[in-house]
Amino acid sequence: MFACRPEPMKAYSPVPPQLMLKPPVATFLLFLIGLSASFGKSPNFVVILTDDQSWVGTSLQIIPNDERSKSHYFQTPHIERLANAGTRFTQGYAPAPYCCPTRRSLLIGQTPARHIYQKDQANWTKAYRQQLSIPRMLKTADPRYRTAHFGKWDMRFDDVTPEEMGYDASDGLTSNGTGGGKGSGGPSAKDDPKLIWEITEKANAFMEAQSKAERPFYLQVSHYAVHLDIFYRQETLKAVEDWTAEERHDFPAFAAMTHDMDTGIGLLLDQIEALGIERNTYIFFMSDNGGREGYPSHPQSKSPLNYPLRDGKGSMYEGGIRVPFIVAGPGVDAGAVSDAAVTGLDILPTLADLSGYSKALPRSLDGGSLKPLLIDRNATTVQRNNSFLVFHQAAARSAESAIIEGDFKLVKTWASNRLELFDLSKDLSEANNLALRFPEKTDKLHRMLVGFLDQVKAETRKIGSKSEVYQLSE
pLDDT digits (tens, 9 = 90+) for 30-89: 444 433 333 448 999 999 999 999 999 999 999 999 999 999 999 999 999 999 999 999
Q: Do 248 and 184 lie in a common domain?
A: yes
Q: Do 145 and 266 lie in a common domain?
A: yes
Whether residue 439 is contained in a domain is answered as: yes
Q: Do 227 and 305 lie in a common domain?
A: yes
Q: Do 430 and 343 lie in a common domain?
A: no
Q: Do 129 and 92 lie in a common domain?
A: yes
Residue 468 pLDDT: 37
Residue 199 pLDDT: 95
Q: What is the per-residue pLDDT across 367-380, written as a single tens digit (0 to 9) for each?
A: 999 999 999 888 89
* Four-residue CA torsion sign, 273, 218, 63, 260: negative
Whether residue 383 is contained in a domain is answered as: no
Cβ-Cβ contacts under 8 Å for 102 (sequence gap 6 or more): 94, 95, 96, 112, 288, 289, 344
Counting the structural domains of the chain, the total is: 2
What is the extent of the structural domain holding 312?
23-375
Which of 349, 375, 401 is where one domain is finished? 375
Q: What is the per-residue pLDDT across 188-238, written as a single tens digit (0 to 9) for each?
A: 445 788 999 999 999 999 999 999 999 999 999 999 999 998 999 999 999
Which burial class, exposed, middle or buried, applies to 170 when counting CB atoms under 10 A from its CB (0-12, 13-18, 19+)?
buried
* Strand pairing class (325-328; 87-93): antiparallel
Whether residue 172 is contained in a domain is answered as: yes
Q: Please state, in angstroms and rounded to a whole number, the distance separating the CA atoms of residues 117 and 96.
A: 11
Residue 32 pLDDT: 47
Provide the CATH number for the domain around residue 223: 3.40.720.10
Whether residue 261 is contained in a domain is answered as: yes
Residue 157 pLDDT: 64
Whether residue 166 is contained in a domain is answered as: yes
Which of 326, 342, 375 is where one domain is finished? 375
Cβ-Cβ contacts under 8 Å for 453 (sequence gap 6 or more): 113, 390, 392, 401, 460
Q: Do 406 and 362 lie in a common domain?
A: no
The pLDDT confidence band at residue 14, using thresholds 50, 70 and 90, is low
Q: Do 404 and 367 lie in a common domain?
A: no
Q: Do 356 and 227 lie in a common domain?
A: yes
Q: What is the per-residue pLDDT across 270-322, written as a single tens digit (0 to 9) for each?
A: 999 999 999 999 999 999 999 999 988 788 888 999 999 999 999 999 999 99
Residue 162 pLDDT: 95
Q: Do 200 and 335 lie in a common domain?
A: yes
Whether residue 18 is contained in a domain is answered as: no
pTM above 0.85, yes or no: yes
On the question of pLDDT at 22 being above 90, the answer is no
Q: How far apart are the first and last CA of the chain?
A: 49
Which of 328, 350, 375 is where one domain is finished? 375
Q: Do 435 and 359 lie in a common domain?
A: no
On the question of pLDDT at 21 being above 50, the answer is no
Q: Do 347 and 399 lie in a common domain?
A: no
On the question of pLDDT at 462 being above 60, the answer is yes
Task: Provide mean pLDDT across the span 382-400.
Answer: 94
Task: Give bridge partners of residue 325 from the DSSP assignment.
Answer: 286
pLDDT cut 70: percent of the chain above it: 86
Q: Do 346 and 394 lie in a common domain?
A: no
Q: What is the per-residue pLDDT across 112-170, written as a single tens digit (0 to 9) for each?
A: 999 889 888 777 777 888 899 999 999 999 999 999 999 999 887 677 899 999 999 99
Provide the CATH number for the domain around residue 462: 3.30.1120.10
